[in-house]
């Protein structure tokens, strides 16, 4: 985005579609530079410091309309937070189609190669309240609002492709269980407590989702480094009224990376805004996050042949059965101007679809179609939330809906009904042609005419009764380190459960997933492995895929090298400056963000007499906030750092979390001081070099940082 025009650039071409959302917000932007203070009615305020009183020491007067307006507005500043996904961060951007997808869908974003559609994307935790921490173990929301020229389309998903429950009927129960327990309001933003595990241990359908949340997917390194999924099966419908099924996948250009548990816990104390800050600062620095949108497209006939039901949101489709076809990319290139007005007031609704996109009969999706709209009416004060600028479509809005709280539009004329003759029949319905015939793009939305000829019934299809096969698929598809992390997460969570029967019930369910996993968790809880929980399906269909490498985080290392990685360089008086400056230049050129970190912030004098400024201190920015570390040369500096109370912990955290460390010259002594003695030959994440070779070792250091972590260093689960 250029500040002058608000126009995003790619390949030298202006993204005119993005201008539409910028223009829609221009009328409500407020720039107070060189402007006087006024009331909400535009009356200039002469004194904003003192209440109107009867005499300097007299009573305040009720007629002080400036005070009353100011206090009244303040009293009503807060709106109800979201019941779930309350803690979120968002950004503006655009979606660019790789090619026309008209064979499968008439949806506007895929109408032609290179078409640009403005978007607003919000990421969030699920369980925590608005003021909770970013790094809690949780699923993450991944919601994208497409401002298309045929209306707004909201693709409201998560960073996990499956969900806890199969039917929306259980959604209130799930949320009540995972939220803080009502008698004391604890724990905040955490699932490690009795009510959550009581519920899921009685709901075997939750097992697959539990595997994902207890994996490293539940503690992502960054919003920019996590996948997104539409979760449900949707329909694509083309101009001829032909339909196929699809699932939506977002894959990050930065790769899929996570935190380890010890790191996540420490970060939550030092910087509870860790993910929010990361997204904001990346965009502000011009490092625009990017995701590729891929579709799994399949027919109803293919779906009938799967061993699972595609209408079951606790199941995914392995990529070995249906490959993911890349169809476009999303770039987030502008931060919100105002967090409340945009990020907090944005209203995503699963019911918001456009011609070319339609629903499947997924019973969880059916409930979401109602729930999201209903929620926004309460949260945003009435049915006119679509008129809030961040929610306004760029497509014209013309209908006979009138009035209601917070109405912004000013409809003209005396006609507010259809059909009519007094307004020339306008606004008029566009009409539709029958399925299978040519349908011009200007026609309106037409639901896919799916045939139904069954009795009303409360129940589930037979395939919905199988709950463990895909949980086993997920576990078997993980690396050994990821499996260890899953076991550690289950141990930690269940150790917080105070009712032994709940632990035993959950373990009996895990036996159906993996004997190895159940044994690891049981050992950590001092329990025997219980009898297997009975399965609802005695003879499930044999799955065609038993291992899927794409389900491991390691499958997507990313294409960005060390861009945006945060690298700490320790400094103190007497540091060897030349080596650090040459290394700094190489790292910055590679796209890293380098921080000189001292025992305090401010200037330090190097060995040459030149100064070097620390912009962070070991006290305000502990080691676990960084992706890599450089230990400097210079005997005086090394001696001073060795005597500082924070240095050992700073180094130990980076080493413990398997991050890259480069020690220059005398800086090796700091490794020994931190208790890091002989480093394994398999550990490519600890580099040693003379300060004179700093420039030469830079490429090897960059390659090591790009690996994210050096997992050979792990000697135990992250909870130890």
Q: What is d(CA 260, CA 221) in angstroms, rounded to the nearest whole number? A: 9
Structure token pair of residue 573: 């008086």
CA dihedral over 300, 539, 210, 215, signed as positive or negative = negative
Rounded-to-integer distance, Cα 246 and Cα 37, Å:
53
Tokens of 106: 């008439």
The residue from 158, 159, 333, 391 that is catalytic is 158
Q: How far is Cα 196 from Cα 218, in angstroms, rounded to an integer?
A: 16
As beta bridge partners, residue 631 has 663
Helix (H, G, I), strand (E, B) or coil at 117: strand
Catalytic residue among 85, 208, 485, 710: 85
What is the DSSP annotation of 625-689? G-SEEEEPP-HHHHHHHHTSTTHHHHHHHHHHTT-EEEEEGGGHHHHHHTT--SPPTT-TTEEEE
Q: Is the Cβ–Cβ distance between 190 and 137 less than 8 Å?
A: yes
Token digits of residue 316: 């995914």
Please choose, from the candidates 695, 662, 564, the residue with its C-alpha nearest in 3D space to the C-alpha of residue 283: 564
Instruction: Return d(Cα 190, Cα 136) in angstroms, integer.
Output: 6
Looking at the DSSP bridge assignments, the partners of residue 358 are 235
d(CA 562, CA 406): 47
Dihedral angle sign, alpha carbons of residues 112, 116, 120, 123: positive
Q: Which two tokens stand for residue 32?
A: 């107070």
Contacts of 77 (CB under 8 A, 6+ apart): none
Q: Which of 174, 207, 204 lies closest to 191 in space, CA to CA?
A: 174
Per-residue tokens: 164: 């806890």
Please state the length of the chain: 720
Count of alpha carbons within 13 angstroms of residue 149, beta-carbon side: 16
Q: Residue 651: which H helix or E strand, with range?
A: helix 647-656
Q: Which of 18, 688, 675, 658 is nearest to 334 (CA)?
A: 18
CA atoms within 13 A on the CB side of 295: 21
Beta strands 243-252 and 228-229 are antiparallel
158 is catalytic: yes
Distance CA 136, CA 269 (A): 11
For the annotated catalytic residues, the residue numbers are 85, 158
């Amino acid at each position: 985005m250029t500040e002058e025009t608000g126009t995003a650039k790619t390949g030298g071409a202006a993204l005119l579609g993005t201008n539409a959302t910028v223009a829609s917000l221009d009328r409500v932007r407020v720039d107070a530079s060189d402007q006087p203070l006024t009331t909400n009615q535009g009356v200039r305020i002469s004194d904003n410091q003192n209440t109107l009183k009867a005499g300097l020491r007299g009573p305040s007067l009720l007629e002080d309309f400036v005070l009353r307006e100011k206090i009244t507005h303040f009293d009503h500043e807060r709106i109800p937070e979201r019941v779930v996904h309350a803690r979120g961060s968002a950004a503006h951007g655009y979606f660019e189609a790789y090619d026309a997808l008209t064979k499968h869908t008439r949806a506007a974003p895929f109408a032609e190669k290179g078409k640009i559609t403005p978007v607003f994307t919000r990421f969030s935790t699920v369980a925590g309240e608005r003021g909770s921490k970013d790094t809690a173990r949780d699923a993450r929301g991944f919601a994208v609002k497409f401002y298309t020229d045929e209306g707004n389309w909201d693709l409201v998903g998560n960073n996990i492709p499956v969900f806890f429950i199969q039917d929306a009927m259980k959604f209130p129960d799930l949320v009540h269980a995972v939220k803080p327990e009502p008698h004391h309001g604890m724990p905040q933003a955490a699932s490690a407590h009795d009510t959550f595990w009581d519920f899921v241990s009685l709901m075997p359908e939750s097992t697959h989702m539990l595997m994902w949340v207890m994996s490293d997917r539940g503690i992502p390194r960054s919003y920019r480094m996590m996948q997104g999924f539409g979760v449900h099966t949707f329909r694509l419908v083309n101009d001829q009224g032909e339909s196929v099924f699809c699932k939506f996948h977002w894959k990050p250009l930065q790769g899929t990376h996570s935190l380890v548990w010890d790191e996540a816990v420490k970060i939550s104390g030092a910087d509870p805004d860790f993910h929010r800050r990361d997204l904001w600062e990346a965009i502000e620095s011009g490092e625009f996050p990017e995701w590729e949108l891929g579709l799994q497209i399949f027919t109803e006939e293919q779906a009938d042949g799967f061993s699972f039901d595609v209408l079951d949101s606790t199941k995914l489709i392995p990529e070995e059965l249906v490959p993911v076809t890349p169809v476009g990319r999303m770039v987030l290139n502008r931060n919100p101007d105002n967090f409340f007005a945009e990020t907090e007031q944005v209203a995503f609704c699963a019911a918001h679809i456009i011609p070319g996109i339609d629903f499947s009969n997924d019973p969880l999706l059916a409930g979401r179609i109602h729930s999201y709209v209903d929620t926004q009416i309460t949260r945003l004060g009435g049915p006119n939330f679509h008129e809030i600028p961040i929610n306004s479509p760029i497509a014209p809005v013309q209908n006979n809906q009138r009035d209601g709280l917070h109405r912004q539009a000013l409809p003209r004329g005396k006609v507010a009904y259809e059909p009519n003759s007094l307004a020339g029949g306008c606004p008029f319905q566009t009409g539709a042609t029958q399925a299978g015939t040519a349908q011009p793009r200007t026609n309106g939305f037409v639901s896919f005419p799916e045939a139904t000829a069954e009795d009303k019934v409360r129940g589930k299809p037979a395939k919905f009764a199988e709950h463990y096969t895909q949980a086993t698929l997920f576990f078997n598809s993980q690396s050994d380190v990821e499996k260890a992390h899953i076991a550690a997460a289950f141990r930690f969570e269940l150790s917080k459960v105070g009712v032994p029967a709940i632990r035993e019930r959950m373990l009996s369910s895990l036996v159906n997933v993996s004997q190895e996993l159940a044994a690891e968790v049981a050992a950590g809880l001092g329990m025997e492995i219980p009898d297997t929980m009975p399965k609802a399906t005695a003879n499930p269909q044999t799955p065609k895929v038993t291992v899927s490498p794409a389900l491991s985080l390691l499958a997507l290392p990313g294409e960005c090298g060390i861009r945006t990685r945060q690298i700490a360089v320790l400094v103190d008086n007497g540091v060897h400056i030349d080596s650090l400056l040459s290394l700094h230049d190489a790292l910055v050129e590679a796209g890293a963000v380098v921080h000189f970190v001292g025992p305090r912030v401010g200037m330090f004098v190097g060995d040459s007499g030149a100064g070097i400024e620390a912009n962070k201190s070991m006290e305000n920015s502990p080691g676990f906030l960084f992706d890599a570390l450089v230990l400097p040369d210079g005997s005086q500096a090394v001696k001073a750092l060795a005597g500082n109370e924070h240095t050992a912990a700073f180094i130990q955290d980076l080493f413990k979390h398997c991050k890259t460390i480069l020690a220059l010259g005398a800086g090796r002594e700091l490794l020994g001081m931190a208790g890091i003695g002989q480093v394994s030959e398999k550990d490519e994440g600890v580099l040693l070099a003379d300060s004179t070779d700093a420039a030469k070792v830079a490429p090897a250091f960059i390659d090591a940082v790009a690996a994210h972590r050096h997992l050979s260093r792990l000697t135990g689960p992250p909870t130890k």
